[in-house]
Amino acid sequence: MRFYQPKSLVELFNIYATLSPDNATFLAGGTDLMPRYERGQDMPDHLIDLKRISEMNQIVITADRVAIGALTSIQDIHDNDLLKTEFTALRMAAHDFAGAQIRHRGTIGGNICNASPAGDLLPALYAFGAILTIQTSGGTRELPINEFIIGPGRTTLQPGEVLTTITLDRNKYDSNFQKVGLRQSMAISVVNVAFVYTPGFSRLKIAAGAVGPTVVTLDSFTTAFLKDSSNLAEIIHLIEADITPIDDIRATAKYRRQVLKNLIRNFLTS
Ligand SMILES: Cc1cc2nc3c(=O)[nH]c(=O)nc-3n(C[C@H](O)[C@H](O)[C@H](O)COP(=O)(O)OP(=O)(O)OC[C@H]3O[C@@H](n4cnc5c(N)ncnc54)[C@H](O)[C@@H]3O)c2cc1C
């Protein structure tokens, strides 16, 4: 296997152009990729480390937006002052994420491209309406995160495309993130959920993970709740319209349904 460490996107695309797409893989923090190889997945002939591309490892704040480089570590998401105050759910998700070693190594881009239904940053990114920027040597495309992730471990990323930036509008919404795992830390979420809202709930977006093949937004429920918030007990069942949880080694579908209802009920009434 050959290992490459380009220092810019231009250098990356020049290297990539010389390789066969079937045999080249991008590496960010490696916290998803390396365990896969340890479990026996074939290693590629060419591994391209993105970590030295500094233009993908910065958080750029403008008046209306924040643009998070895909190589930003989970720890840097956690430590950023603006994210803490304006995108609290994302910061809370980074706080509840793995242990210190993984938080320093793992990246936001890796969490998105890995496309796990239980990925902890994803509910907040869905609820905030994150826009992803994808680049190739030929150009750039942008799309919302819910159109990028299309199934468990599946995205619309084409060979040679790199996720470079995650952009969030600075709407100054309040937000919150809740995670239930089999233990407090170092545990994959059994259910995770992000709430993005305005005071008094004139606006509310709820996105939940590990209750379907991708993170889902609970639009049927929130539409009913926004019409009549006094009716919570009668409408909570509407979350069923948007979720399709399964039984797996971590929990049953029934348990996930109940946990999600409890998290939503507790949050909206607290
Ligand atoms: C012990 C342990 C605990 C964990 N705990 C959690 C947890 O609590 N919550 C959670 O959500 N996850 C957890 N994870 C999973 C993992 O740490 C995260 O998903 C992390 O964000 C992955 O980022 P990475 O940079 O390491 O990705 P990598 O492993 O480097 O890459 C993952 C995939 O994305 C592709 N990729 C990465 N970046 C890009 C890019 N910019 N453009 C194109 N393709 C790209 C890679 O080719 C690869 O296919 C844990 C993992 C371990 C080993």
Give the separation between CA 20 and CA 114, rounded to whole angstroms: 22
Structure confidence at residue 184 as a pLDDT band (50, 70, 90): low
Give the pLDDT score at 185.
Answer: 63
Atom of ligand 1 nearest to the CA of 134: 42
**166 CB within 6 A, ligand 1:** no
Name the residue ranges covered by the structural domains of the chain.
Answer: 174-269
User: Distance between CA atoms of 108 and 56, rounded to whole angstroms?
Assistant: 11
Q: Which CATH number fits domain 174-269: 3.40.1010.10, 3.40.50.1820, 3.30.390.50, 3.40.190.10?
A: 3.30.390.50
The predicted model gives 45-73 an average pLDDT of 97
Please check whether residue 208 is in contact with residue 120, taking contact to mean a CB–CB distance below 8 angstroms. Answer: no
Rounded mean pLDDT of the chain?
Answer: 95
Q: What pLDDT, on a 0 to 100 scale, did the predictor assign at position 187? A: 82
Query: If you measure from the C-alpha of residue 224 to the centroid of ligand 1, how many angstroms do you get, rounded to a whole number?
Result: 35
Helices and strands per DSSP (H, E), number in the chain: 12, 14
At 2-56, the pLDDT tens digits run 999 999 999 999 999 999 888 899 999 999 999 999 999 989 999 999 999 999 9
The two tokens of residue 42 are 């074939």
70 Cβ closer than 6 Å to some ligand 1 atom: yes
Per-residue pLDDT tens digits for 98-149: 999 999 999 999 999 999 999 999 999 999 999 999 999 999 999 999 999 9
Report how far residue 255's alpha carbon sits from residue 140's, in angstroms, rounded to the nearest whole number.
Answer: 42
Is the pLDDT reported for residue 186 higher than 80? no
Pocket test for ligand 1, best of 31, 33, 47, 188 (most atoms within 8 A of CB): 31
| Residue 25 alpha carbon, nearest atom of ligand 1 | 47
What would the pLDDT profile of 208-265 be if each residue is shown by its tens digit?
999 999 999 999 999 999 999 998 999 999 999 999 999 998 899 999 999 999 999 9
Which residue among 32, 37, 41 is best mutated to probe the pocket of ligand 1, counting the most ligand atoms within 8 A of its Cβ?
32
Q: Which atom of ligand 1 is nearest to the CA of 102?
A: 17
Cα(247) to centroid(ligand 1), Å = 23
Structure confidence at residue 242 (pLDDT): 95
Nearest residue by C-alpha to atom 52 in ligand 1:
31
Apex CA 78: angle with CA 77 and CA 79, to 5°?
95
Could you report the per-residue pLDDT of 158-182, keeping only the tens digit for each? 999 999 999 999 999 999 999 998 8
Q: Which mutation among 36, 73, 111, 149 tests ligand 1's pocket best, with the greatest number of atoms within 8 A of CB?
A: 111
